[in-house]
Each structure stands twice: as C-alpha cells, then as structure tokens.
Structure 1
Amino acid sequence: MEKEPENTPEAERPGEDYEEVITTHINADFDALASMIAASKLYPKAALVFPGSQEKNLRNFFVHSTSYLFNFAKLRQIRLSRIKRLILVDTRQRDRIGKFAGIIGKKGLEVHIYDHHPDSEDDVHGDLEVVRKIGSNTALLTSLIRERRIEVSPVEATIMCLGIHEDTGSFTFSSTTADDYRAAAWLAEMGADHNVVADLLTRELTTEQVWILNDLTRSATTHAVNGIEVVITEVIRDDYVGDFAVLVHKFMDMENLNVIFALAQMEDRTYLVARSRIPDVNVGEIAVALGGGGHPQAASATIKDRTLVQVKSDLMAILKTAVNPKKTAADMMSSPVLHIAPEETVQKASDIMTRYNINVLLVIDDQGALLGYVTRQVVEKAVFFGLNHIKVADYMNIEFATVRPEATLKEVQELIIRTRLRILPVVEDDEVVGVITRTDLLSILMGDQTEPELFYDAKSTPQLPRTKNMISLLNERLPDPILELLRRFGGVADDLEYNAYLVGGMVRDILLKRDNLDMDIVVEGDGIEFAHEYARIYGGRVRSHRKFRTAVLILPDTTKVDIATARMEYYEAPGAPPIVETSSLKMDLYRRDFTINTLAVKLNERHFGVLIDYFGAQKDFKERVLRVLHNLSFVEDPTRILRAIRFEQRFGFKIGKLTLSLIKNAVKINCFKDVSGQRLFHELKLLLMEQNPIGAIEQMDVFNLLPVISPQITYTDAFRNLLEEIENVAAWYRLLYLDEPFDAWKVYWHALTSALDPQNLRELAKRFGMNDLEGRALVEQREQSEELLNILFRFQGDNYQLYCLLTPYHTETLLYLMARANNERVRKLISNYFTRLKGTRLHLRGRDLLEMGFESGPLFRDIFEALTEAHLNGRVKTREDEVEFVRRRYPAFPGAERAGKAEAT
C-alpha cells in the first residue's frame, strides 16, 4: 500500500467522520490503553485513536490479542476538523496528545478530561474535567462505570485490571489509594482473568538486559550544554539486545532525569535512544541530524558505519547548536547589586569587598546612575600605596557596557567575550537591577563548577540553578495538609508579588526520604509582612524579630512555621554573631553551612514544586559527600564543624576532602576561642541528641575538639567503654516501654563530663550558660552522682530505703550510673527500682481516708508514706490489705467507731 503524502489536504484524505474521539498520551502504556477502553463504556459511539506510537509491548499486545474487539481507528483515518467531542484520558497535557493539540480551542469542540496526574503548566482545560488523586487512571474511570451500573465483559475487565496493576505496581506504589483496590475488586467480580494480567506484568528483564541497565547507570555522565543538564550514557555489546528503548526509559525514571541520550553499539550498528521532558531540548530534531527521527520528547536513530566514539562526538557537536534555552539576562544575573557611592573612600571599598567576598564593586551615585566600577586588584594596590583616603571616583573604571533584563544569552555572550568584561550590569529604566560576571557566563556555557567572580571563596559553586520538578516527590513524602499549606503560602506570595520558597532541612530530608515536617520559608520580599498577610487570610498569630527580618507563624492548630526574609550575613570577626542584610534567594542560600542545606522548592503557583539548586547539592547527594560552601565558613562560624560531624554521622555521608582540610585548619588556629559558650553548647546538645552519638564523639576526638569543651576530657578506652555501656543501657530502658520518657542526650552529657571535678563542671556550666532550671539540675545531679554511686556500692537496705534513695534522681542520672558502675549488684539495684519500685501506685486515695473518718492534714502524708513502705517491702498488696494496714496502724483516729459502724451497715 502506498503511503499517503503528508501534504495531502485533510479534506482530500480518505477517512471517517467521527464526531467523538477518545485518545490518550503519546507512547501509551497499559493504564492509558485501559483508560481508553474504560472511557468507551461511557462514550459508546466514540472512536478510540492513539495520538502517536505506542510502546512495543503494547503494540504486540494489540496485534496478537484483542484489537478486533474494540472500535480502534488509526490517526490517518480521522478527519480532525469533524470532531465535535474530544475525550482525553490519562493525560491533559497539550504537548502529549500529538496532532489532537491542533484542534484544542477550535470553535464548537467539546473537551472532556479524565486524568489522575498533578497539574502542569501545559494542561488543557475542558468542558468536563474529572481529575482525582488516585494511583491509576483506569481505577478513576472504573469507579464511574460502576456508579452508573454499566456492565463490562471479562475481556474488558481483564484489560482494565491490567491498567490498574501497572500504574500501582500491583498495589505497592505509595500513590495507591483505597479506590484502586475497590476498582480492581469489582473488575475481579466482572470476570477479570488474573492469569492474563500476571503473564503480561511478570515479563521480567533478561540477565543481559539487567547488565545493560547496570552499564547505563555506571557510564552515565552529566554535561551542561548552554546551561541545560544533559545526561549521556553508553553501552557496547557484540550481539543485538532487544528492548533497548525500554531500558533507557526505565533508567530515566530511576534517576528522574530531564534529558537523556543513550548510545548502544550492537553488532555493526550504533543505536541512539533519546528522551526529553523539557521544551529546551527537542530530541526529535537532534535524532534527525543523526539520520533518525521522532518527537520532541522521544526519538531514536540507527547509525551504520560509525563507531560509538564517532557518534558520540557528532552528538556533542550537534547539542551545542541544537540546545537553545530561552535564558535571558534576568535569569542569569545576581541581585541585589552591591555598590558604593563615588565620594566614598578606597578604604571603604576595600572593607565592602572583604565583608562580602566580592572582586568587583559597581559605583553608583545617589540618583541611582551607574558611573563605573572598581576591582579588587586596583583597590588593594591603592591601599598598599597608602591611598586609603582617596575617593573611589578617582580610580574607578568608567568604560563599561550594560544590557536590559530581556537580553538573550547570545547577546550577553557577545558583550562579555568581545569587550572582555569582568562584570556586566543589567539595567532597567536607568536602574541597575543585577549583574552578570564572566564566570557566570562560563558556568552557563561550559557547565563546569569554576571559581565564581562574585563569591570568590566558593570554589565549586555553579552560578545558575539546576532545577527539576519535585511535585511527585512532594506528593509522595508530605501529608495532604502540609501540601495544602505550602500551596497557600505560594498563593499569598503571588498576591504580594513576592517569591516564596521552602528551604532547609525539610527539602533535604524529602530527597533523602526521611521524615521531617519542620517548615522553613524564605521570602524574596518582606517576610514579616508575608506572615501577617497569611495570618489575616487563614488565621494564626505572628511573632516577629525586626532585627533579623524573621517571623514565626503560629497556625490555628499550633503548628509553627519559620518565615524569613531572603538575607545575607557577614561576620565582623571570627565566631561573632552575624550582621544581617536583605538579599535574594541565591545569596540567602549562600550564607548557609553545607551544600546539602542549600536546596529550595518554589511555592508560587506557576512554578510550584520546582527544586532550585544553585550550589550542586544534588550532585553531593548522589555522591553522598558533605561539602562546605566557601573556604572561610568554619572561621566565620566554628560551630559548623560540630554540625558537619553531626550530618556526616546521621546521613552516612563522608566529609569532602577540601572541607576536611578546612576543618583541620580552623581547629589548628583555635577558631573556637571567641565562640560564645551558649552557641557551642547548643550545637553540642544537638550532636548528643542524634540517634547514635558515639561515632560523632569519636570524630570530635579525631578533630581534637574534645579539649574545646574541656581540657579534662580525653578519649580513652575507658571512656569509649562507658559510651558503649550507655548505648546498651539506653536500649534496655527503651525496651521496658515505661510511660516515662527520657532524654538520652543527658546520659551522654554525664558521660562526656565524667572526668570533670565539681569545680571544673561548674565553670563549664557557667561558660555554657546552663543557668536555667534544666541546666542547673543537670549539673547538680552530675555532681551528686559520684556520692550516690558510692552509697549504692555499700547499700544493704530494703526496697523502701532504695526507693527513697533513688527517687530524687532523674532517670538520665540513674541510667548513667548503671553504665558507669561496672558492677552487677549496683545495676540490679537500679534495675529493680525502674522495673518494680518506681511505678508503685497505692490503691487508697485521699478521698478514701476521708470516708474512713480521717481528717485532712499532715497525718495523710504519714499514712501514705507508711503504706508505700509496706507495699514496697511486700507487707500489703491489695486494697483490702491497705485498709487493714491503716486500721491496724492508726486505730485511735477520730471517727473510727462511726466509720466502722457505717461499714458494717
């Protein structure tokens, strides 16, 4: 059969006038197929049409099974202009429905949508939209069929059940809902053949395919092409291995990649499989250049007579011209702009450059006019020659170029390279709104983590953010109320024309799949105003701190959210508190400690869920390395060293080589000497609160940090044994499942200070600011623990005497003594107290004594103490025993005769 020419007018093509068409997304899977068949039960007159190619296993399923049972038509048979109702299933994205996107918005066209995917910017809007958060789109449609009491055949039920199983991982994916189970159960009642489902779903990868998937993973490299991250991976096999595209797709999903080019040399050919999820990379055009073809999102090519090395070289050359990100100067610039007035002195310029770690400083007058710029080299030479007092205007460079925010990457590139600019101001309405350095441009073009101009100490800081969409991960990891709260934050930010971001530990732990619901929000705008506006709309209270431009939003359910204005900090001296100034998100993140804590998720509605990574944090996650942002980080805030140890132990990361060197240098110059004791104690407390702090304490010894706490603390074998015993004792106590919790960090604190005599202990407590009730009690009990331990060694009393001896002491102190004693008898005494004595409860209460005729007063205390002694020493057990004991012990109390008669009656 001759192929129909592509340029044939639609009116002249053979076809049928279908007024209703059901379609799905390109590269349909089983859930898409099953959704189409399910939708045909709701729209029996509609034709089923795929918008493009299907996956191979799906094509085979159709060819060899049941296509003849359903009203499927080929796309070339459809006159698009005649369609009056378009039914979209398992998608609503315009760029995923092929040629059907061309009729969206056509006058007279009715669009019905049935989808279970999250919202996206490219979504089509319909006259009818049924969108529900559910594991499988087939299950959504099945529930509608069931509600309308529409019968389905066993074959239909089988295909629909197959769709549910595929998209829920046979009910193992976290996105699975109760509705998925209910739909599958009903389909089973309708005759779904689970043998067919199992046969189609359990076609596991062959051994060879598993090895290829492994090779794809190991050989993958990331390249930044014109600022876009592209992954290239390759394999070589002597024989042909099928389903290479399936393996590439699986790898792309495993690594959550946006763009991938996979090369496979098999037999005498090289195969290319390309996938893209972003509009900046049209893999169809790139595949065409290599002799293949496809769509912007999926393409392939088969290349003869070229080795894999040659094809890879050709691909790299094509990428440099084919990848065209729509980046503008506004996307690339750093803001706000640090500047100096022309009448200020060279010394002032030097101070600003040192304070903010910058190499170039713009000169702007009080009217906002840009006059020029000065460089660090010029300023340092002027200071060296004693010209500190000379005005900046006398030494500034007055030859410069500027660009507008909408200038393209190409324009910026030509200006910086042609005129050899170190810095390119971005100007709008005669006001400088940002700057682009030549290193910013180099990072964009080359993708290497080169030394930036603006932050010259951050030797591995990429200047453009690496982004990806995190909506699916947010949906997986966060409860619905938290997601709704984050969306509300984005809405308030939109109303105020601010940008709002989720930052910090919560973002980090979402990626690490650890539980953490402590929200930190950063606002590019006024964080305090943002908090008050949210409270006005949705309720809540606000506590603000004007000096640091931060607020705590206390929601009606008492949840607390920290909200901060995007800010930057500088330190006037090592260890001193930071000075805070308003800034942008990038500079706010730059002030943080480690790259893994610099991630941000945008909350504004248009870009909700977009992960922003300025400093290569995702790479560090993958390599499981802890890396500091800039070289003076530990000098500015030495307590970050304890934080590095804490994160290293908690996440199982390794401290990077440069970061390790910086830690050792900071300790070597005694950087802790000016750190306040309270800040040091705060970080030490957090370290001891980790699940297993022993490894962290060992690392403190490795870095020679224990003397920072006290010169008396040394890491000996005995100290190590004590820590291990505490770990065992704490585990034993947890297994008792007692009602009374305990703070394990306090037990380790007692161990850490066990070598200190009372005077040194009190001096340490004073230095650490332990003057609150908790701190004083901690110190007092540590002081008394040695005496208590000596008493326990000699103890010969009964249970009541043991109870009276140990009751004044906290659980943490007694657990410390159990570990410290190294004596079985002492341990048994304390164990007996925890398991038998401490939880003793009397049956009689004050009201019982009143009913027995006693008058309330000091006698009550005597009676209860006597009862407690009798209980603990086994002389009374039941309530009756207690009543008899009281009557026998206190026979001559007022009203006894009356109480006795009343009881007899």
Structure 2
Amino acid sequence: MRVVAAHENLDFDALGSMVLAGRLYPGSVLALVGGVEGVLREVLPLLEDRLDLVPASEIPLDRVREVVLVDNARPERLGPLAALVGRVPFLVYDHHPRTPGDVPAVGGRVAPVGATVSLLVPLLLERGVALDPLEATLAYAGLWEDTGGFSFPSTTPEDLEAAGHLLRQGAEVARVRDWVRPRFGEEAREILSQLLKTAHLVERKGFRLLVARAREKGYVPALAPLAHTLLDLYEADGVLLALRLGGDTLLIARSKARLDVGRWLGALGGGGHARAAFARVRGKGRALARLLETLEAFLDPEPTLGQAMTAPVETLRPTSVREALRQLEERGYGAMPVVEPLGEGVRLLGLARRRDLRKAVRLGFGDHPVEGFLVRAVVLPPSTPLSQVEPRLREAGGRVLVGERAGEGWRLLGIYTRTDLYRSAPRPEPTLAERVLKALPSGVFRVVEALREAFPEGVYLVGGAVRDALLGRSGPDLDLAVGPGVEVARVAQFLVDRFGGSYGLHYAFGTARVRLPFGLVVDLAESREEVYPYPGALPEVRRAPIARDLERRDYSVNAMAVDLGGLAFLDPYGGLRDLEARLLRPLHPLAFVEDPTRVVRGARLAARLGFRFAEEVPRLLAP
C-alpha cells in the first residue's frame, strides 16, 4: 500500500498537494493526519465523497510499503504515520527548506517555491495527466493561500506558471476567493482583540518586529491570517505571535525580508521557511523572551547605501538651461548634480531635473544659467542603512547623492534613486554541482554528505541520479561510481556502518548494492571501460578513470557526473544541453550495434520523462 499524507491542521496547500500526488501516484490512499485548519473545516465535509480521505489512525501500518509526504518533512507532524519513518521509503514534496531531523526522504522534490502545489503541477504536466475542475480548484486554492494571492515575498515564477496551468484545467477563481478570503469567527475576533491590546514594536538593527500575545482555552483558529493582518496594519518588517494554549505556547512568525523565521523558530524545534514558520513549545518557559534575545543573530545584515548605490555618478558643470537639458536627454537621466571644482572635491550647486528644465525652456528661459533652476541635493554617507534612506528619498524628490566630505566640498561616490529602491540585488548563481546536490532528497543528501566527508577523492554521483536531480525529480535509487584507488567494498561497508542496513557484493563485476533502513538503495560500481568483442556480445570490463566510464554509457543525458570530493560537474558529451532540449542522443554511432538493449532502455526513458530521440537515431537504427 502506498499512502499520501501531509500534516496535522491540514490547509489548502496540503490538501491540494495531496490530491495532485494522488494523481501522480495512482492507487494511493490519501491519509488525513490530525485535524483541518480554518475554512477547510467547512469545505471538507462537502468534498468527502470525492476525496475519499482515510483517517491515518485507521490505516494498517504493517501494510504500508511507501509514503508520499507533501507540504511537510517533519516526523512529529505525522501522527501515527511517524512510526513508519526509517522503516519504509518516504518521497517528500515540500516547499519548506530542509532542517535537521527531517524525514530521510529517498525521492520527491524540495525547492523554495511559494506553495508545494507548484512542485507537483509540472510533473503532472510532463506525464500528460489532466485534472478535473475540482482538483484544479483545490490546487489553485493552495497556491492562492500560501502566496497571499501571489503577493507574498516567497512567490516565484514557478507559482505563477502552475497557476496558469490550473486555470487552463478549469480552476474556479471565484470559488477560491470565497474559500481563502480571511474569515474571522468569534474565536478569531477574540484572539485578534487580545493581540491588538498587547501588540508592540521591537526594533533591532533597523528591523521592525511586531510582537503580540494572546491566550486561548478552547478551539484555536487559523493564526496565519491574523499574522498577516497585523503585519499590514502596523507596516512592520516581521511579526511574532505567541498564543498560550493550556501548558503550551504556539508561536507563529512571518517576515518580509532579512529575518529567516524558519531558522529562528527552528532553534526552538519549530519549522517553516524563510518567510513563514511555526513552533509549539511545551511548558511555560521563556520561549518568547529567548527568541527576542536571539533576534539579532538571525537577522541578515542591513544593506547600506554604499552597497546599493549606482556608481560612479555623472555630473554637469554650470552651463545654460538648454545645454543642460540636452545632456540629460542624451544620457537618458531624469536628473544630474551640477558641480564645480573645489580643492580635492567639488562644490555641489544642486540637482538639475529634466522636467524643470523642459518647463524653463517652454517659458523662454533656455539661454539662462542652469544654476537658477536647481533643486536642493541631499548627500548621505555610504554607511547609511537603507532603512533610513527611503524617507530622505521623498524629501529629495526621489534621489539622493552618496558622498564623503572633502575639505569644504564633497567627494561624490554614487547616486541612489527610487529605481534602486525597488531593484533586488542579484543572488549568486549556484554551480551546476551545487544545483545537483541541493536538489537531492534529504535522505539522499545525508548519504552524499557523509561520503564527501569520508572519501575526499574518487566517489562520483553518476548517470540517472544526476539527470533526475537536474530535472527536479528523484527516486529511491542512488547511482555512484568509485574511481581507481577506492574499493567498492570499503564504500559499502562505510555506508552500512554509518546508516545501518545491509549490502551485497559482486566481485566479478566490481559492483555492490547497499540497502539502507529508510528505503534508499545505493548502487556502487567501479569506474570502468567496456570493450565489445563483437556486436551483441557481453563486454570485456576493466577499471578506468571516470572519464572512460562516462564514455561507455548509452545517452548523453546519462553521461554526466558530479565529483563529490571537488564538487565538479562533469559533462563531456553535452548532456546538459540535451537535457534542456529533452533529447536522447546516443554517445557514438555504434551504440546500438554494440548493445541493442539501449534502444529499449531509451524508449522507456523517453516515455517516462517526455523526451524524444535525437534526429540521427533513425539512421543509426537502420540495418
């Protein structure tokens, strides 16, 4: 039996993801863990016949062979299904970042998107699985809820692409809006009243955190809408709510930027992602006080004006209005500072704005000195935190100069405008090797990290494992090649000593298969080259470097590798290019003559991944 599950206090993203996973893995049982959240308590009874959710407490655990876990990776949120962790394979699809103690997943996908639904929709699209309007509507509701109507900072292009596909599949936007819009019942209004009475702002390093407390004895309504309401009401950068419930404290945090609330609440055993997190703390300890004491440690450094400015800044010398306007229009600027030399720096006369100069020309002042039509310039030092700059932008007409004193004048370093205010700093792109490792499920990643530590050289992630990671998918098998100088048996023994399980060796072929207790199967093989004495014959095998090992493989998309020790990406045959084009290209003209089974393997791969054969394949298949 395969089970699809999410977490306690089911929300729309969890439910929508369960429905999509059920279509991705036909025949699965959809398990309801714990209760449901908010308006879902009203919606779910209307859908019981269509969804066929089974309480997790009624599922015979001894018959479960695999669990597909969505929108969650924490075992403590699995109810009775937590007993299966480490005993059966878990495939995890989740948009929350990995944290220590997560379920050791052997497959699935974890990626920072706005909603888990966005990870499943492309997989269904690849396989040509059509959704009915109800399924599409539930999935769209999950997207809308977890992205705040596509307005939260965590929203990504993948979320919008998934939304477009769901709309084409018949998602009913009006129904979603009715389901997901905030509803404050009597209990929620009472808690909101308490939160408003206790709300106060705490500022650390330019970050404004709203803190509020409340108590509740009975039913706990959905807290996320209350958090976003307060966040908008106080125009804060983040919010932390603490709800006392009996002997426990529920903590919910939201952040617009700079504060990774997932890591922050993770220190108390909670979880979530950078912009939304939750924790439940037992007892009446100092949880809230401890969080506030550690707040600064979890804040990203506030950007400064010097880091965000545009540099160098171009200037004008005193001239006529008409000439100054010509230079502004020629360079495409809305304004430029007008300066004249003064010692080691310049004397700043003011800012010449294009709109002012155009008006002056229309009124007949084109030949007058530009100095008579300047506005006051604001100069700030490069160390100024950006949180202090926005008010000065309003004061200075949308731009400030960045500079340092130089005697009686200024040394101008740059300029900062409203355009810079809304421009995000580019994030460094991870290397291809880092992309592959980051895409691995948590259990696989844990194994790979242990191997990197134990074997600094000679172990490679190869073939399907690299291909599938780059496609954003992974299965319960891990393929590794072991280079000359490292013994397969030694690697197999290390894995069993570290994680438990068992292994079998095939000395004649230089291979081993390791079965780890949480369901991951690791296939180890000596890197080797193969020589075929005649067409269709079994190959003659001998050990060889990884480059020769990749040369013997069937298709370019299977001939990529990651050197785990040096984190180098190996792609000698253009596999990445063919992967992006979704092509199966044989490595050499005699590939099918040497091994005709490559045709069958290619056909299966093409059907599973939605690939097509390269244009030269029909010619290579001809007798």
Shorter-normalised TM range: 0.3 to 0.5
Answer 1 or 2: which has greater helix percent.
1
Structure possessing the higher relative contact order (Cα contacts under 8 Å, 6 or more residues apart) = 2
Answer 1 or 2: which has greater strand percent.
2
TM-score, length of structure 1 as denominator length = 0.31
TM-score, length of structure 2 as denominator length = 0.42
Query: Which structure has the greater CA radius of gyration?
Result: 1
